[in-house]
Structure 1
Amino acid sequence: MNIQDTIVALASPAGAGAIAVIRVSGTDAINICTPLFKSIHDKNLAKQKTHTIHLGHIIDGERVIDQVLVSLFRGSNSYTGEPTVEISCHGSSYIQQEIIQLLLRSGCRAAQPGEFTLRSFINGKMDLSQAEAVADLIASDNEASHQIAMQQMRGGFSNEIAALRKELLDFASLIELELDFAEEDVEFADRTQFKELVARIMKVLKRLIDSFATGNVIKNGIPVAIVGEPNVGKSTLLNALLNEDRAIVSDIAGTTRDTIEDELSIGGIGFRFIDTAGIRETTDTIEGLGIKKTFEKIKQAQVVVYLFDASLIQNSEFRIQKPSLPAASLPGGENYSSVLFEIEKIKNQFPLKPLVVIANKVDQLDSAEILNLKSQIPNIHLLSAKENMGVDELKSKLLDFVNTGALRNDETIVTNSRHYDALLKALEEIEKVQYGLETGLTGDLMAIDIREALYHFGEITGQVTNDELLGNIFSQFCIGK
Structure 2
Amino acid sequence: MNKLSGWNDTIVALSTPQGIGAIGVIRLSGTEAWQIVNRLFPSKDILRQPTHTLHVGFLKHNDQVLDEAVVALFKGPRSYTGEDVVELSCHGSPYILEQVINACVTEGARMAKPGEFTQRAFLNGKLDLTQAEAVADLIASNSAAAHHTALHNIRGGFSAVLKDLRDELIQFSALIELELDFSQEDVEFADRTRLYELITHAQSVTGQLIQSFRLGNVIKNGIQVAIIGKPNAGKSTLLNALLNENRAIVSDIAGTTRDTIEEVLNIEGVLFRLIDTAGIRDHTADAIEMIGVEKSREKMRSADLVLYLFDVNDTVQEVASAVKEIEATGTPYVLLGNKADTLPEATLKEKFSSLKVLFLSAKHVLNIESLKKRLVDAVISGDLGSEDTIVTNARHYQALQQVAAALSDTKNGMDNGLPGDLLALDIRRCLHFIGEITGEINTEDKLDYIFSKFCIGK
Q: TM-score, normalised by structure 2?
A: 0.95
For 1:466-477, list aligned pairs within 5 A: 466-477=443-454
Aligned position for 1:296: 298
- More displaced 10-residue stretch of structure 1: 174-183 or 380-389: 380-389
Amino acid at match of 1:422: A
Deviations 1:345-377 (A, max 9, x none): 222x22x432212122333445565455454x5
Q: CA deviation at 1:79?
A: 0.6
Structure 2: distance between partners of 1:93 and 1:467: 34
Structure 2: distance between partners of 1:219 and 1:319: 40
Structure 2: distance between partners of 1:180 and 1:9: 53
- More displaced 10-residue stretch of structure 1: 231-240 or 140-149: 231-240
Deviations 1:219-268 (A, max 9, x none): 11111110111222211211211122222223332222222212111112
Q: CA deviation at 1:473?
A: 0.8
Structure 2: distance between partners of 1:27 and 1:382: 66
Aligned position for 1:453: 430
Deviations 1:180-235 (A, max 9, x none): 11111111111111111111111111111111111111211111110111222211
Does structure 1 retain, via aligned residues, the 8 Å contact 2:20–2:92?
yes
Structure 2: distance between partners of 1:96 and 1:319: 67
Amino acid at match of 1:357: L
Structure 2: distance between partners of 1:446 and 1:372: 61
Deviations 1:55-87 (A, max 9, x none): 112222232222111111012111111011111
Structure 1: distance between partners of 2:200 and 2:149: 27
Amino acid at match of 1:32: I
Identify which of 284, 287, 290 aligns with 2:286: 284
Aligned position for 2:11: 7
Identify which of 401, 405, 408 aligns with 2:378: 401
* Residue segments in structure 1 that go unaligned for 5+ positions in a row: 323-337
Does structure 1 retain, via aligned residues, the 8 Å contact 2:24–2:92?
yes
For 1:256-267, list aligned pairs within 5 A: 256-267=257-268
Aligned position for 2:212: 211
Amino acid at match of 2:149: I
Q: CA deviation at 1:300?
A: 1.8
Amino acid at match of 1:12: T
Deviations 1:420-443 (A, max 9, x none): 111111111111111121221111
1:345 aligns with 2:347: no
Does structure 1 retain, via aligned residues, the 8 Å contact 2:257–2:279?
yes
Deviations 1:118-147 (A, max 9, x none): 000000000001001011111111111111
Does structure 2 retain, via aligned residues, the 8 Å contact 1:118–1:131?
yes
Q: CA deviation at 1:408?
A: 3.9
Aligned position for 1:427: 404
Aligned position for 1:192: 193
Aligned position for 2:332: 354
Structure 2: distance between partners of 1:260 and 1:62: 58
The residue matched to 1:457 in structure 2 has which SS?
helix
* Residue segments in structure 2 that go unaligned for 5+ positions in a row: none
Q: CA deviation at 1:392?
A: 0.9
Aligned position for 2:88: 87
Structure 2: distance between partners of 1:246 and 1:13: 30
Aligned position for 1:57: 58
Q: How many residues align?
A: 453
Distance 1:373 1:57, change over 3 A: farther
Structure 1: distance between partners of 2:435 and 2:236: 49
Aligned position for 1:170: 171
Structure 2: distance between partners of 1:161 and 1:371: 50
Aligned position for 2:238: 237
Amino acid at match of 1:278: G
The residue matched to 1:405 in structure 2 has which SS?
coil
Does structure 2 retain, via aligned residues, the 8 Å contact 1:406–1:412?
no
For 1:40-79, list aligned pairs within 5 A: 43-79=44-80
Does structure 2 retain, via aligned residues, the 8 Å contact 1:36–1:60?
yes
Aligned position for 1:33: 37
Does structure 2 retain, via aligned residues, the 8 Å contact 1:58–1:68?
yes
Q: CA deviation at 1:319?
A: 4.0
Does structure 2 retain, via aligned residues, the 8 Å contact 1:76–1:82?
yes
The residue matched to 1:400 in structure 2 has which SS?
helix
Distance 1:200 1:60, change over 3 A: same
Amino acid at match of 2:427: I
The residue matched to 1:407 in structure 2 has which SS?
coil
Deviations 1:139-170 (A, max 9, x none): 11111111111111110111110111111101
Structure 1: distance between partners of 2:402 and 2:377: 32
Structure 2: distance between partners of 1:250 and 1:66: 59
1:225 aligns with 2:203: no
Amino acid at match of 1:13: P
Does structure 2 retain, via aligned residues, the 8 Å contact 1:21–1:87?
yes
Structure 1: distance between partners of 2:111 and 2:442: 25
Distance 1:367 1:124, change over 3 A: closer
Structure 2: distance between partners of 1:372 and 1:195: 55
Structure 2: distance between partners of 1:428 and 1:353: 28
The residue matched to 2:298 in structure 1 has which SS?
helix
Structure 1: distance between partners of 2:438 and 2:177: 24
The residue matched to 1:70 in structure 2 has which SS?
strand
1:137 aligns with 2:117: no
Distance 1:223 1:50, change over 3 A: same
1:363 aligns with 2:341: yes
Structure 1: distance between partners of 2:349 and 2:437: 55
Does structure 2 retain, via aligned residues, the 8 Å contact 1:238–1:247?
yes
Overall identity of the aligned pairs, in %: 52
Q: CA deviation at 1:285?
A: 2.9
Structure 1: distance between partners of 2:445 and 2:22: 38
Structure 2: distance between partners of 1:242 and 1:364: 23
Q: TM-score, normalised by structure 1?
A: 0.90
Does structure 2 retain, via aligned residues, the 8 Å contact 1:406–1:413?
no
RMSD: 1.7
